[in-house]
Chain A
Amino acid sequence: MVAAISRKRFLTGWTAFIILFFLFFVILPTIYILSYAFTEWGSIEALLEDQGRMDLIWGAIGASFQIAGIVTVIDIVTGLPMAWMLVRKDFRGKNLLDTLIDMPLAVPTAALGFSSAMFFAITDESLQAPSFALGTIGSPYLLIILLHVVFSYPYMVRSLSAILVQIDQTYETAGRTLGASPLTAARTITLPLFRAGLVTGIILCFARSLSETGGTMIALATMANARGFATGPTLIGEWKDALDSQPDLAAPLAFVSILLILLSLALLVVIKLVVMRVHLPMGRIWPRPERLLSRGVFPKVKDGLAVLFLVVFVLVPSFFIFTYVGSVEPTAFDWAPFIRSLLYSFLIAGVVTGIDIALGVPLALYIAKNRSGRLAGALDVLVNVPLIVPTAALGYSLGVFWASQEIVPTHDVLLIVLAHVAFTYPLVVRNVAGAVEEVDPAYEETARTLGARPVQAFRRVLYPMVKSSILAGAIMAFTRSLGETGATQAVVANAQTAPVYIVDLINLETAAGYYSAGLACIMLIVISFLFMLALRYVTNRRAR
């Protein structure tokens, strides 16, 4: 009896610790900068008067949101047929297609940015892009849209197919037995059921596009004549870099961050409401044209276009860099700084992932098991905040937060780790909470009636079932941390992580710089791939 009570107390204490960690180390630093508006209103007022800077700010933020919006629409339109094909159809090469879609996810965004810009854009002459590159895009705006499509497309396809799998195909079949053509059934039955899930995909894409910094900066640097174009996050990066020499940038930095945080959170709410409310024309049915479109050559054309889009707009830009490094004159490559930055990045990503797992899994368990409770419900919503907030704004906010504290010494590495934890932690929590909720509680309950204490029931029954999701969460956290530029730069201006190192190389605007950057990108890609393969191997083996 005594043992039972102390066990209970320990559990309560542990739970409280986990929740407090989440609130004080993740949520609070993420939005701390909002308090700046209250404490330093004067300097913001002064900024509002400064026409030149305000134009810059509005221009960048406007561009960010427009780009994110356009990218999301493109992703939905092109991703839906692809997701449909992957889930609902059977064809040869389906597994290959499935793997191909995931490939860009393994490429760090810095490398993606360089590779895509080289393929799409008119580049600096010293770059010597291969002659078969598209090389026609002259507008930075358009280039960034294309780039963001490259790396958000896989996310959209993945989240759409995840929902599609869950919608029982019997509904469509039922519709067809009632005389509806496949297109009619999909449009009037599956799509309305799809709605709630679509929100997740839209938010994910939107947030990713809004957040993206490293790839965007590199693409802009690679492109010829892109000076003066900025998105919200790149503006933060630029200004933070210059903050030491121009201390009056503090107010504009805070202001941009506040705007990005508030607007993205507002957008989250708006998207949820709009998508759930909007009335698609589901009432009408046009039997003949829809039937016609369901038959013969039309579905094949649709599927063909989906695959074509994947290849031309996603895969080729992702891996174009290999052709570049293979085609230009090799120049000397300075290994030492690259290796150093690589180790630096890996060290941070490793520590971050460790913290995420150790403290994220318990929170996930708490949320999944107390879903009906108010506290858990609130935590579940809060977990999304760091995912939505652009990482550059998050990083700046976090840097300011920790600088204002005296508890934690503001050491560079520590700050970067804390920043990376803030935006990767939710990935682990959401992945694991989702997986735990999938598992029928009857397993653990049965184990308990067979004599297992709660800890034993978790370790022997639940843990083996969600292990692969924990690992998947860990992989996501690790690669996100590895590829992150925005948050890193916003916390510590000159942190030499691998992506930042590549940005610097490209900014040299010399043939040698480009070549070194290309080589560094390829090595980053190869290492990421090896790493993911190894993890996948481990996951598969353990799952068996």
Chain B
Amino acid sequence: MMPEVRLEGLGKRYGNLTAVNNVHLTVHDGEYVTVLGPSGCGKTTLIRMIAGIIEPTEGKVYIDGRDMAGVPIEDRDIGYVFQNIALFPHLTVKDNVSYGPRARALPPEEQLRVSRRFLELVRLLDRMGMFPDELCGGEQQKAALARALASGSRLLLLDEPLSALDSRVRVDLRYELRRLAKELGLTTIHVTHDQEEAQSVSDRIVLMRAGAIVETGTPEELYARPKHIFTANFIGETNLLEGWVVEIRDGISVIELRNGGKVEVHQTDHSVGDAVVISVRPEFMYPADEGMRAVVRGITYMGTYWRVKAETEDDEEVDFDMATLDGNLLTIGKDVYLAVNPKAAVLYPRPEDGVEEAIRLE
């Protein structure tokens, strides 16, 4: 079986409210895709429509080339992991995991074999006889994962599987998720609001906002060269500086910022005179002998680097990072000149409703 998932013009309306609007997406066999976006962007509705929990009002879901319209949840052959974990509280871990085989009336010895196999895979074999409330959060979610896998499906749908967990446990478990999905060759669709999580597990990220896809790409594409200003801000932190293109030469655009400073960017798809926004991540901005003048306002130790907050002459806040060794050179109140790595900066046309609105999270 080749569980490829294809969505064609998928949409869901509740009265006047559009939860998901005209989504086209293909998830390939064996691919790990995350659907990322802020609360209320429609990502959960989307995955629920794929699972058949919610009926779409428009468009089609194809799994393995088959139109899923009218196919009930239990016939879609999916593994689904819920945000609130949803282990059956009256069944032991083993009985939870063997529920899928049991629902398909496999013989008892086969049920046991399957549940052992998947519990072993998530390293919970020693917890077989326990009830869900006797496990801690991370273990519960692993058991829920084993349960989803044990149903034998090759398509795994993960609905914010880690958001109920502590951040440290979350980090450990996300590597586990990817490892299992890849080891078993599953097609995975993982919904999350956590951009860090999305970046570290996915082959491809689908970024959503207000019911529609903003853009799709590999974690690296979305981090290094996001096509949309919303993406630039949502995936990783960034400085957004407003200015105008004043000169274009040799593959370089020269941007004059509001405060008069000039920045060079290796990108030439705008014309002279265009109002633009430069996105530059804190790690690609550094103190230099000349450049944008700013005053250091705060220095925070981040373990492997220092995060410096500075204020430019026109009261804009910019963040830049320094290696741990150099951090001691700066003090609060000190003037610095900031330069931008021209290769790492990205230009966007200035949004009509303003930058604030274009990157709004809520």
Contact = CB atoms under 8 A, between A and B. Distances in A.
A174, A180, A181, A291, most chain B CB atoms within 10 A:
A174
A57 to B, nearest CB: 43
Interface string A169-180: 011011111111
A176 B72 contact: yes
Interface string B77-90: 11110101010111
Contacts of A286: 105
Given A170-B82, A177-B78, A180-B74, A193 B90 contact: yes
Contacts of B78: 177
A326 interface: no
B51 interface: yes
B103 interface: yes
Contacts of A176: 72-74
15 contacts: A168-B84, A168-B86, A170-B84, A171-B88, A173-B80, A173-B86, A175-B103, A176-B73, A176-B74, A177-B73, A178-B74, A178-B100, A179-B104, A180-B103, A285-B105
Contacts of B80: 173-174, 177
Interface in A161-217: 168, 170-171, 173-182, 184, 188-189, 192-193
A311 to B, nearest CB: 30
A188 to B, nearest CB: 8
Contacts of B104: 179, 287
A378 to B, nearest CB: 26
Nearest to B84: A170
Given A177-B51, A193-B90, A287-B105, 16 more contacts: A168-B86, A170-B84, A170-B86, A173-B73, A176-B73, A177-B73, A177-B76, A177-B80, A177-B148, A178-B79, A179-B104, A188-B99, A192-B90, A285-B102, A285-B105, A291-B74
Contacts of B51: 177
Contacts of A287: 103-105
B72 A178 contact: no
A180 B77 CA distance: 11
A286 B99 CA distance: 13
B90 A179 contact: no
B86 A171 contact: yes
Contact of A178 (B84, B89, B103, B157): B103
A174 B88 contact: yes
A178 B99 contact: yes
Contact of A177 (B84, B102, B105, B151): B151
A178 to B, nearest CB: 4
B53 interface: yes
A189 B76 CA distance: 20
Nearest to B108: A283
B12 interface: no
Nearest to B80: A177
B105 A178 contact: no
A464 B136 CA distance: 36
Contacts, number: 68
A293 to B, nearest CB: 13
A173 B47 CA distance: 13
Interface in B250-265: none
Given A177-B73, A177-B79, A177-B148, A184 B89 contact: no
Contacts of B77: 179
B103 A174 contact: no
Nearest to B99: A178
Given A192-B90, A285-B102, A181 B84 contact: no
A515 B53 CA distance: 56
A193 B147 CA distance: 19
B154 to A, nearest CB: 14
Interface in B124-156: 147-148, 151
B102, B103, B157, most chain A CB atoms within 10 A:
B103
Contacts of A168: 84, 86
A193 B74 contact: no
Contacts of B73: 173, 176-177
Interface string A276-317: 000000000111000100000000000000000000000000
Contacts of B89: 193
Interface string A445-477: 000000000000000000000000000000000
Contacts of B99: 175, 178, 180, 188
A483 B78 CA distance: 55
Interface string A468-509: 000000000000000000000000000000000000000000
Contact of A179 (B84, B86, B151): B151
A405 B310 CA distance: 84
A182 B74 CA distance: 8
Interface in B25-80: 51, 53, 72-74, 76-80
A179, A180, A285, most chain B CB atoms within 10 A:
A179
A174 B90 contact: no
A188 B96 CA distance: 11
B252 to A, nearest CB: 53
Given A173-B73, A174-B86, A177-B79, A285 B103 contact: yes
Interface in A56-112: none
A383 B276 CA distance: 72
A422 B169 CA distance: 54
A341 B265 CA distance: 93
Contacts of A189: 88
Nearest to A179: B103
Nearest to A193: B90
A170 B87 CA distance: 9
B74 A179 contact: yes
Contact of B53 (A171, A173, A179, A181): A173
B74, B77, B78, B105, most chain A CB atoms within 10 A:
B74
Contacts of A285: 102-103, 105
A284 to B, nearest CB: 9
A475 to B, nearest CB: 33
A185 to B, nearest CB: 8
A171 B86 CA distance: 6
A159 B151 CA distance: 35
Nearest to B105: A287
A184 to B, nearest CB: 6
A173, A181, A192, most chain B CB atoms within 10 A:
A173
A229 B53 CA distance: 55
Contacts of B79: 177-178
Contacts of B82: 170, 173-174
A480 to B, nearest CB: 35
Interface in A221-250: none
A451 B289 CA distance: 54
A198 to B, nearest CB: 14
Please list the 9 inter-chain residue pairs (A to B) with the smallest Cβ-Cβ separation, ordered nearest first.
Answer: A177-B80, A178-B100, A180-B103, A176-B73, A170-B86, A179-B103, A174-B86, A178-B151, A176-B74
B147 A178 contact: yes
Contacts of B53: 173
A255 B312 CA distance: 93
A175 B100 CA distance: 8
A192 B96 CA distance: 14
Contacts of A291: 74
A178 B72 CA distance: 12
Contacts of B148: 177-178
Nearest to A290: B103
Contacts of A181: 72, 74
Interface in B213-247: none
Contact of B100 (A173, A179, A188): A179
A192 B89 CA distance: 10
Contacts of A182: 72, 74
B126 to A, nearest CB: 23
Nearest to A283: B102
A179 B73 CA distance: 8
A106 B3 CA distance: 56
